[in-house]
Structure 1
């Protein structure tokens, strides 16, 4: 039932439920069933599409139930915190947050212990989805450099 298509080089579009509502008009990328975009590789967008592709790469229009278990960045006090989405209810998202390792190296994070940092946030506080971070030692992780650059630009870090 999943559908994956591409109408632009380097951009894949996907949805959980296939849709053929405009297939007779040769339109395959209708917005039905939460059509999502992802940029693949380092394909440079056309001049007018730069901001649109950047946003599509990082933040879906709506955080939905199928995003549970995915990694994201939540904005709290204008700081980015890598997190895992645990639950989604209407416009609220329950997430488990990581903490920064030091205030000097913002891109070194760890899971707090012994108490987990689990809270509900509004879905517009989710800045972006991201791949699982990379371990830099036994306890700390690091967010992908391209995503970290995007966060620094968005938050002015």
Structure 2
């Protein structure tokens, strides 16, 4: 790079860094102020997926210990805050390895039912979570956010996202505590071969964490319901959105940062920070194009060699999967050079590990040359999908 190119690149990255730092501080402050000033009709749920627990036997032969035959259990953890009671930790355990919107709401259903039973005065839900594009921060979750709470009798709901890579908090401690408890049971000679057994054994120990079991068919039923819906309209600039809220079924409002400035007056949809409205409705053309991009529930060795799009630091990069281990993928990524223009870095390739949650979708082999032979571009359908997230 020349001196001018280096200076330009530095200035561009400095703007992104300052925005990133602002969002970190703003979202944490909004979370803290909300948690400390909840009203009697509100509750706050701070949620996250813990890393899957690998089920174990107390005595394993070598082929089992080092093989890939272990089942995994998904742990969806969270902490519930209300004005009336101390914080309540909870965890939903499931044999399903899906972490997508249908799975999220299948895990949340028993939690919402518990809230209605224990705190009947609560009518407004506030969610806080991290914002991976394949889980919480995507149009599928936005749609369910604008429908599922209303089915269970809630009147208002907001969902705020911490800045990328800065969403660690209480739910991570809940997951770590439960997995350590499970490992101690295995060390004491108790087998935990499945997600259901994990739930039962932890339940027997009278854990302070409220435990729920989400059956795999419950997740698949919710996923099937989503498939019956017409294609949903994507929100352009999804990765910049840090708050989504809904007061009416099927409609959402969103903005780039969270704001609760008029909540004490009963208003969650203050017009601050360019609040925008969206209706998640059918979009036929997009539905046809989206058939070319998909994402499996679980990645395995059979996906090695496939092309994929991964998210890193609010941007998306295509690449080739080179290895898959325990929910993580090693990807040989292309570098970006302008709008839908990519190239293979040289002399060193950009090969890094990514979590499954950072994978946007699988794509067809992308080797379409641009006018300049050294650059590659994605097909139009895949590029449109990425643009909608940027």
Q: TM (normalized to structure 2)?
A: 0.26
Query: Residue by residue, what CA displacement relative to the aligned partner does 1:43-100 show, whole Å, maximum 9, x if unpaired?
Result: xxx972425x758942111111101001000101111101100000011100101001
Aligned to 1:92: 328
The 1:101/1:69 distance shift into structure 2, 3 A limit, reads same
Counterpart among 137, 145, 148 of residue 380 in structure 2: 145
In structure 2, the partner of 1:114 is 347
2:369 alignment partner, one of 111, 135, 151: 135
Matched, 1:64 2:321: no
Distance 1:86 1:57 in 2: 19
In structure 2, the gaps of 5 or more residues are 1-215, 217-226, 233-286
- The structure-2 alpha-carbon separation of the partners of 1:47 and 1:61, relative to structure 1 and needing over 3 Å to count, comes to closer
When residues 100 and 149 of structure 1 are mapped into structure 2, their CA distance, relative to the original with a 3 A threshold, is same
| Alpha-carbon distance change, 56 to 48 in structure 1, aligned in 2, over 3 angstroms | farther
| Counterparts of 1:132 and 1:62, CA distance in 2 | 20
- Per the alignment, residue 43 of structure 1 pairs with none
Determine helix, strand or coil for the equivalent of 1:50: coil
- Considering only CA atoms, is the larger Rg found in Structure 1 or Structure 2? 2
Tell me how large the CA RMSD over aligned residues is: 2.4
Contact 2:330 2:354 in 1 (8 A): yes
Which consecutive aligned stretches of 4+ in structure 1 deviate over 6 angstroms post-superposition?
none
Which structure has more helix as a fraction of its residues? 2
CA contact (8 A) 2:332 2:349 kept: yes
Distance (Å, rounded) in 1 between the aligned partners of 2:341 and 2:311: 16
How many residues in Structure 1 have an aligned counterpart in Structure 2?
107
- State the match for 2:229 in structure 1: 48
Whether 1:123 and 2:356 are equivalent positions in the alignment is: yes
CA distance in 2, matches of 1:120, 1:55: 27
Q: 1:87–1:47: structure 2 CA closer, same or farther, 3 Å change rule? A: closer
> What is the rounded CA distance, in whole Å, between the counterparts of 1:63 and 1:77 in structure 2?
22
TM-score, with length taken from structure 1: 0.62
Consecutive unaligned residues of structure 1, counting only runs of 5 or more, are 1-30, 32-45
